[in-house]
Amino acid sequence: VQLQASGGGLEQPGGSLRLSCAASGSIFSTAVMAWYRQAPGKQRELVARITGGGSAKVADSVKGRFTISRDNAKNTVYLQMNSLKPEDTAVYYCTRVSYNGNAWFPSGVWGQGTLVTVSS
């Protein structure tokens, strides 16, 4: 499976961006997909995840502002980001995730991320 994230850029605080992640591979429709982000000097963190059937979960830090969705026909997962804050500045990545009974962890390849910069 190959992943290609896009849609990042420079946005002002309070603005919106929509990220896309195009995946190749026949297992996409059943895979739990997720968006991660990594800010400068910080560890990569899980932002949102979504099952093949569309059940979604977002991190508390972005709840009410970010929405994850997917289009299985297009092998694409999206991250709609509204009310952006400077602390959302990071490189955003998508990947497949799995659950080990305790936590979700990345279980697929890491595609090229897309940089989101929130600044006035």
List alpha helices for the chain, DSSP H: none
23 neighbors 112 (Cβ within 8 angstroms): no
118: left (phi over 0), alpha (psi -120 to 50) or beta: beta
Residue-level pLDDT, tens digit, the chain, 120 residues: 688 899 999 999 999 999 999 988 767 888 899 999 999 999 999 999 999 999 999 999 999 999 999 999 999 999 999 999 999 999 999 999 999 999 999 988 888 899 999 999
Long-range contact set of residues 95-103: C-beta below 8 Å, sequence gap at least 24? 95/3, 95/33, 95/34, 95/36, 96/1, 96/31, 96/32, 96/33, 96/34, 97/32, 97/33, 97/34, 97/46, 97/49, 98/32, 99/32
